[in-house]
Each structure stands twice: as C-alpha cells, then as structure tokens.
Structure 1
C-alpha cells in the first residue's frame, strides 16, 4: 500500500510538473507566433515580400506548436476536470483561434499581399494601382470570411474560473480578432469599389464638399467650399475649387420622398446649399449636392465626397505641412483652429477674403496629397482614421456601388433596421460659428430584455465653451435677434433618431420638461428640441423612452464635429 501510494504521488507530481512545463512552452510559442506575425505585417506594409513570407511561416509554425502543446492527451484530460481544468480549456480555445489566424488569414494574405503594400499600391503622382486591387479581391474575400469566423470563435471562448493571465489573453485576443475582422472586411470592400470609383472603367467625376463643422449640420458642418474630383485609371485631381457662394439657389427642387419633405421641406434643403445637409443621412446631402451642381454647371457627377478640417489635420500629419503664398505654414496642429476659428476673426470685415484663404488652404493640401508621397502608408492610415470618425463620407450614383458603400462607415447612412439606435444630431440655428466651442457627452442606457418593451434613456450634455472676449457678430451673434439673449449664445437644434418603434415619455433640459417636435426618418422616430446655450453653460437633455426589445448591438453614431465626445452605452443585446 505504501509503495502504491508513493508511486501515485510520484505520478501526480510528475504530471503536474509536465503540465507546468507544457504551459510555459505553450505561452512561449504563442508569444513567438505573435512576434513573427507582427514582423510579417510590418514587412508586408514595407513591400518586403521575402521577409513577410518567412515571418508568416514562422508565426504559423509556433502557433501550431502552441496548439499541439494545449491539445496533448494529458492537457485535454486535465482541461475536462470541472473548475480545476478551466484555464487549460480556455487556453485550448485560444490556441485554436491563434492557429486559425496564422494559417487561414496571415499566410494567404502575405502570399497575395505584396501587390497591396502601400508603396506598390500608390504609385508616383498619387496614382492608385487599380488592377492590383482587383487582383486581390479573391484572397481578400477569403481572408475576410476566415477572420470573421475566427472573431466569432474568439468571442465564444469560455472565461477561465481562475488565473487572470489567461483571461487577459482571452480578452486581448477577442479585441484583436474583432478589429482584424473589421479591417479585412473594409479592405475587401475597398478592393471592390475603389477601382471603379477611381476610373478603372473610364473617367469618373465627384462633387467634393468641404464641411465647416464650426457651424453644425447633420453630416458634420455647413458646406463651406467645394471642388470637383476628376478620376481616371487610378489617378485623381481636384479642380473647380470654389466657395459655397458659387452655388446659386437652385430653381428645381429634388424629390427625396414624402418623409424627407415632411421633416425638412420648410428649410428648402434641396435648393439652398446652406441647409442641404441637415439630415445625418449622407446620401441625402450627396444627391442634393449632385443636383445643385448639375443646375449650376450642367455637369452630372458620378458621386459625392465630404470631408472637414479635422480630417485635413490627419492628412497634414501624414504628408507634412503646406506653405501659403505669404509664407504662413499650415500643419496638423494649427489647421483646425486657423480654418474654423482664427480665419473668422482675421477676415472679420472681408468675407470674400476669408473664403479665398480657406480655398487656398484646401488647394495646397490637395496638391501635396496628389504629388509624390514620402510615406503612402502614413497617408492611408490618416485617411482610415478620418473615415473611421465619419469625417470622410462617400456616395456613388451607381446603385451597385452605393449598395456596397451603404454598409460601410464611409457610407454614413442612417440604418433602416430595427436594432437599438440613438442618433444624436446637432444643427446650428444661430447662423454663427459657435459649434467650434461646443462639447458633447452622450449616454444611452436601457433596461433588460425581459419584456417586449423596455425603458431607455438617452442623455446628451452640451457645453458652450466660448471663451471670454469679443467676437465678430458673424462668429458669436445670432442670425435673428431673440429677446435679450446675450452675444455668444449658441442656438442649438437637437434631434434624437431613436430605435424603430420607440415612443417618447418625456424630454427634459436640466430637469425642466420641454416641448418636443416629432417626425420620422428612415423608419426611426425623431424627437426634436431647441435650446439656447449661453456662454460657459451646460444643458443636460434627457430623452426618456419606451422602446422595443429588438435584437442587435446598440449603435450610437457620432456626428463629426470639432470635439470628440464621450459616449457611454449600457444597452443589453436582446439576442441575434
């Protein structure tokens, strides 16, 4: 008995020591896989195909070793033990996802990816190699599908009952696979739409709108200037740069349907450029801009693009500063303040000079973007960041291309599905430029999914940070005098596009109940209030709702203004 017991002890100790050794081996192999994957990614972006392929193979080798470490018979036996084996079971699931990433995503992406290296994709003069993009579509589709499947697999990895380091690895993997899946999906979509939009099938022309988000509009800001982008065989040039005053009031209104007319018709958005983008649904603004330009010039464009000074700051960070005719240097640090604040004071008595100044800034940036680039990767990163924040929006008049764009971030569409939604939209009612000083906070919270409906609250805090001092009336005055409202007061039109089927219980501003305008947009109920926000003051607006317990992740799109608002979402997902 003593001998038998001693043997058992030795076996248990040896088994434990083996598990400890294997765990260290698995961890080391996973770290090696991650390191080689990073090297492969960097080499791919640098166009070094040989290093990328070698590093991808090494990443796959170490990921396979980690998989073998965690799927041996002793490990699997221990992983099956309730509670005790939980971290081992979680480690098995982690290694399965990592091996899938290196084998099914990284390796094929590297094998086909040399043509997508930024220095190969963007050639001299800023020309995009559209054929390389088209050639990459099959492998991008393949890796995008694989990445989505692995992301779903990662999200379902069990949480370990102990060993925080395993749970930290689990969370990191879930975040990274979700991000990778989104990136590859967007890249696959870009490979399908960019060649056609950049003139791969013949010349294409686009209306380019520069939005001044110091005066808020639904898609970002007032249409302050515009240009016409002419694309052909991967090259794009901007001409006809002009201020908004070059767009006359149109004679022929555009029919965007009875719902649009009921909500916005009184503001004449389809004939007056100043109100052309009150809606946050970019395809409406794009179609209006197309119509306005056709009536102004007789030219029918193939689509529309919008951007803003914050996006320009990202671009300048990638391509370097530009110099104005008088020697003034415009860079990533000063372009937003110069174009959205300083210019209004500098040219307070000469509006035409201000518009010419802004036009020159845009022209200098565009010229440098479309010239020889020192770092194509940096420019792509900058454009990606701007697009991710909604600061670049794209619409195509081609229905097939637009169908693809509408499912992406750059489409900037108001979705017409039933999933939880809180679209908070600010429109400037004062005709001034005080939204440069506006900051926002947004919270969307909802009860559990127990019943068919649930209570929810959308809280919006708006703060007027206009500093002390005198400003031109054009900046801080009101378009129409309202009682004894002091200069520097921001007249805010605030809309909430709520979940489809939601009903409003009440709206308060700083606790006081408010009168509400109601309407609908793309199937969403819209609740609208007006607020006079004095200098230095905060208005807390609460929309209290009853909404359906619809399945899907809650969405709170962020209107691209000057600030970067804090957004908090606490809305349970009521199933798929």
Structure 2
C-alpha cells in the first residue's frame, strides 16, 4: 500500500514537472535560433530544473519495479522514459546551446565581402554535436515506447514530445553537419576547390537534370571566389568511360554515363555522378577538385529570396518568383542557342557574387538552403572519406533510398529520352500503397506514377525545335519520351508493371543490390499514362512507404493509392 501511494504521489508530481518543461523547451529553441542568449539561458535553466525533477521522481527502484505490473506498468514506463528524455535534452542539448546562443545566428553561415568566419563555426562543433547525440538518444528511447498502450493524456504527452524531438532533432542534425563540413570545404585546412554542377530540370536526369553548366569555386581560409566557368560544349565525348562502374550500373545506365558530361546524372547515385564529373573536369582543365556540389534553378529561386532580385546584361531581372520560368522556358523562347550558355553562366556568377558580397539576408539564406536540401535540390560529395561519412543517410548525400525497420523506401527516377527541353510540360504524380494477402505475411507494395504531357496541342510548331528536340532522337516534336525507373529495397521482388491497369512490357533488373523496374513512356500533347509498379516485400510485416523522386520544376502531387488484394499486382 505504501509503495502504491509512493508511486502515485511521485507520478503526479512528475507529470506536473513535465507539463511545465515541454513548453519551455519550445521557448528556449526559438530564443536560441534568434540569438537571444540571455532569454535562452533563463528558459534553459528553468527547463533543466523541471526536467531533472521529473527524472528524479521517476527513477527510483520502487518505480522501476512497478513497471512490470499489468495495466499500470506501461504507463509508469512511459512516464519514466518521457521524463528521462526531457532531462537528457535539457541537460545535454538545450543548456549547452543556450550558453552559445550569442554566437548561434544565421549570420555565421552567410559570407561578408567574399569571406566567412570559419572559427565561429568551429567553436560551435562540440556543443552542437552533443545536442545531436542527446536528441538521437531521446528519439531511440521514445521509439521504444511509441506503441505502448497508455491512458489518453499520457499518450498525448508522449506523442507531443516525440513530434518535437523529431522536428528539432532534424534541425540539429543539419546544423551539426554544417558546422562540421563547411570549415574544411571552405578552406579551413588549406586551399580547396569545389566543382559546381548546375542541373537543368527542363531536360530531366535521375538526379534532377542535365548538367548544363559548371563552375569552379576556390576557397582558402573562408575566402571564396568563383574562378572558372564552363558549359557542356567545352567537353569532348570521351572514347571510353572515364571511371569504372559496377557491372549492374553500367548495364542499366550505359557507357555514355561516363563518356558524355551531359549524362553523368543519369545514375541516381550522386557519389558516382560526382566522381565521373570530377574526372572529366580534371581531364579537360587539369584541376582535381576535392568536392562536387549540384544545384538546380529551383534552388536558385530560393536563394533569390535571400539576395533579392538580380539584373543581368540582357536587361532581364530575375526574382524568386520568375527565375524558374525564365531559366527553364523564357531563355529558349527569347534568345538563340548561341547566347543561352552565356546567359546561364552570367546568372550563376551574378547570384554567386550577390551571395559572396554579404548583402543576402542570413536567415532567408539558411532557410533557402535547408528547403533545397530537403527537396534534394542540393547534393554534396566529398573525396575525403571521413567528410563524406558525415553526410551518410542525409538527403544531400544523394544516395539510393534507405529503408528502415519502420519504413520501406522507394526511388522514382525520371530521365528525358526526347533530347529536348520539354520537361517543364511533364506533369508527374506519384503514390504508394501496401497490402498483405499471402499466408507467409509478405506484403505487396504498389508504386503509382502518373505522367501527363501538358504542352499545347500545337507544340510541334509553336515551340522551337531546340525545345521539342526536332525529332532528332526519334520522338515526334511536341511529344515527350521519358524513362521511368522505380527502385525498390534490397531483398524485394519484381511483380510486374501495369499501364492503365493492363500489363505492359517492362525491364526488371537490379542496381547495387536494389530491385528495380524500368518502363519507357511516350506521350503526345494532352496524353496521360498511369503506371503501377508492383513489388513483393522481402520480409513479413507491412511498413510505411517512403517515396524519393527526381527533383522536378515543382513538387509532384501525391496520389492516394487504395490497395486491396484484388487490385495489387501479384
């Protein structure tokens, strides 16, 4: 009886402490981000007091012993885990970051007169990494009790804290990666060269688009300058591949991936694409870069939110609202092919100069890069193995999709086969469904990809032959030919592909151990095609589906897929 009363009283007090602590965590987070050191420290200290009290109240042997009891036990365990998680975050994340709040502001990541203060980033490495570890530990602990059957108010508190840990933890991971990688990439340890690839989404490749133009960025001690620019026409067609590729990858994507600079992003594996581009640049210009970074016009439009509008020598003004339309459509309509490369190069150098000058809004700049990273519009590869390991599993590493115990990840990759700049007219919708119909418990996954050619009916004559491709590669002007590759997880099985609910020919194969299916679609203006790719899971149990897609001009619409045992591909 005494033990029950003891637990009841301590549980009541612990819940009160948690109710006071969680709002303080959110308050401290906001104050840290804006750099209000004094307010952040006050909130962090108050949070730490409540969190430590909650952890102390739920950590004694009597409490732990009672966790084995039916009904009440799971509730006690969740209270203890939530209390310990809040305490860990407060002690090892919020308090150390609050003490550094005066130096944590977006300005640390924005250039000033062509240079960045690398020491400010280096000083943040230890507290930020400790915060990351704290959030990771809390995330694992909360995951262990995510499905525990507990009373409603406690379930709400657990779910609220889990959501906060997931959201804030993701920000901390990005912050940790930035302060660890940016100093060496910006020349903290000596001069550093980075190759920038500007992908053109008007002609799709798996990673985003054809690398229409490139630039060399030289950094030394935080001072950054764009020292050289080049276009695809500056590179030869190499007689044989410039780097070796795995047999599966070579068979799937072809030798041209490592012979034509325009095709290096055919493969959805950015580390391979970057290695090929790096070797081509070295052979053509003699400089061996240490890093390769790929961006696209949509990311550029995000950056223009930070820099404000820019004006180029043609008199055209680019803003965050019109940049994508200008670069992926208007340039082709207004200017001859001979002038287009120069325009792209000038836009790139002008935006770079604006960023380097220090005139960009720091907070908007950080937000722009974060959004582009989440959408895979910026990809980074480093030759240094240890540096690249920092990016493992992140969106900007550009690797193949990684499944987890809870998620089944798929990749939907699109490549232009028209030889054109028609892909701004390609509307893409994707969706996924899962159902279990077999006695062995293996689930069926269906991935739906719907393509529509939205070009005008008279595209063959109203658009230039440079945009339509002019039929040079076998596609009638105005039509769009696209290869669609859907990568499933390792250990899964191909079940076929349906086109508008009817079986269609497809190419089942694998790449780097991943099961995949390929189809080729050709659509005239106004035509649509809906493909359904079927895969059988490699182990019993359904998982949440996660779709990674080629970055397009826009974010593709998500389709609802209602899957049943009658409709699933089997």
What TM-score does the superposition give when structure 2 sets the normalisation length? 0.85
Structure 1 position 515 matched with structure 2 position 505: yes
Q: 1:254 Cα shift?
A: 1.7
Which residue number in structure 2 is paired with residue 530 of structure 1? 520
Q: 1:345 Cα shift?
A: 1.3
Structure 1 position 364 matched with structure 2 position 350: yes
Equivalent residues of 1:430, 1:478 under 8 A apart: no
Match of 2:465 among 468, 473, 478: 473
Equivalent residues of 1:47, 1:120 under 8 A apart: no
Unpaired runs of 5+ residues, structure 1, are 1-14, 572-576
Q: How does 1:134-145 map to 2 (within 5 A)?
A: 134-145=122-133
Which residue number in structure 2 is paired with residue 409 of structure 1? 395
Structure 1 position 375 matched with structure 2 position 350: no
Q: 1:412 Cα shift?
A: 0.3
Which residue number in structure 2 is paired with residue 451 of structure 1? 440
Match of 2:548 among 547, 557, 574: 557
Counterpart secondary structure, 1:220: coil
Q: Which moved further from structure 2: 69-78 or 383-392? A: 69-78
Structure 1 position 495 matched with structure 2 position 485: yes
Aligned residues: 548
Q: 1:564 Cα shift?
A: 0.9
Q: 1:284 Cα shift?
A: 1.6
Q: Distance in 1 between matches of 2:513 and 2:77?
A: 45
Q: Distance in 1 between matches of 2:332 and 2:419?
A: 13
Structure 1 position 334 matched with structure 2 position 322: yes
Which residue number in structure 2 is paired with residue 221 of structure 1? 209
Q: 1:237 Cα shift?
A: 1.8
Equivalent residues of 2:403, 2:409 under 8 A apart: no
Instruction: Say if 1:418 and 1:184 are closer, same or farther in 2 by CA, change over 3 A.
Output: closer
Q: Distance in 2 between matches of 1:442 and 1:125?
A: 44
Q: Distance in 2 between matches of 1:39 and 1:46?
A: 11
Which residue number in structure 2 is paired with residue 295 of structure 1? 283
Instruction: Say if 1:400 and 1:142 are closer, same or farther in 2 by CA, change over 3 A.
Output: same
Which residue number in structure 1 is paired with residue 566 of structure 2? none
Q: Which moved further from structure 2: 443-452 or 280-289? A: 443-452
Equivalent residues of 1:510, 1:540 under 8 A apart: yes
Q: How does 1:46-125 map to 2 (within 5 A)?
A: 46-64=34-52, 93-122=81-110, 124-125=112-113
CA displacement 1:56-75 (0-9 Å, x = unmatched): 11232344566689899999
Q: Distance in 2 between matches of 1:445 and 1:164?
A: 30
CA displacement 1:273-293 (0-9 Å, x = unmatched): 121211110112111111211
CA displacement 1:359-416 (0-9 Å, x = unmatched): 2222211111111145322211211111111100011122222233343221101268
CA displacement 1:156-200 (0-9 Å, x = unmatched): 446687875654443232122122223323332333322211111
Instruction: Say if 1:415 and 1:84 are closer, same or farther in 2 by CA, change over 3 A.
Output: closer
Match of 2:254 among 234, 241, 265: 265
Equivalent residues of 1:405, 1:411 under 8 A apart: yes
Q: Distance in 1 between matches of 2:536 and 2:76?
A: 44
Q: Say what the alpha-carbon RMSD is for the aligned residues.
A: 3.6
Structure 1 position 191 matched with structure 2 position 179: yes
Counterpart secondary structure, 1:217: coil
CA displacement 1:67-103 (0-9 Å, x = unmatched): 6898999999999997689878756654443333222
Counterpart secondary structure, 1:492: strand
Equivalent residues of 2:110, 2:360 under 8 A apart: no
* Bigger radius of gyration among the two: 1
Structure 1 position 355 matched with structure 2 position 344: no
Q: Distance in 1 between matches of 2:388 and 2:80?
A: 42
Counterpart secondary structure, 2:472: coil
Unpaired runs of 5+ residues, structure 2, are 564-570
CA displacement 1:296-327 (0-9 Å, x = unmatched): 11221112110001111111112222122354
Which residue number in structure 2 is paired with residue 45 of structure 1? 33
Equivalent residues of 2:111, 2:357 under 8 A apart: no
Q: Distance in 2 between matches of 1:72 and 1:418?
A: 34
Q: Distance in 2 between matches of 1:510 and 1:334?
A: 36
Which residue number in structure 2 is paired with residue 574 of structure 1? none
Q: 1:31 Cα shift?
A: 6.0
Structure 1 position 310 matched with structure 2 position 295: no
